[in-house]
Amino acid sequence: MKLYLAVAVLLLALAAYTEAQDAGTFEEKVTQLGTQVSEVTKDWVDKAKVALEGIPTSEIATNMKTWVNDQISRMKASFEEMTQN
């Protein structure tokens, strides 16, 4: 059992060592982080833009416009009826 544990620890150490070798300098890490943040932000902006462009033609928006127009028409009819009496 101790042999398995020792082998597992050695493999983890080797994996950490190779990852550290590939990581590069702090400056490269910061540059990569900046690039990743820019890509994520651009993706979010594109998705938000598509969502906002779709709002005026959505079913909910058209139903709401119809409902508001109906309510305004009913109010106008009520006011006209009140003024005639």
Q: What value, to the nearest 5°, has the Cα angle with vertex 41 and ends 39 and 43?
A: 70
What pLDDT does residue 84 have? 84
Where do the structural domains in the chain lie, given as residue ranges? 57-85
Contact present, 55 and 61 (Cβ < 8 Å): yes
8 compared with 75, residue with greater pLDDT: 75
| Residue 85 scores a pLDDT above 70 | no
**d(Cα 56, Cα 65) in Å, to the nearest integer?**
10
Q: Which residues of 13-25 are buried (b: 16+ CB within 10 A; e: fewer)?
A: eeeeeeeeeeeee
Contact present, 40 and 46 (Cβ < 8 Å): no
Tens digits of residue pLDDT in 9-53: 877 787 777 666 655 677 877 788 888 989 999 999 999 999 889
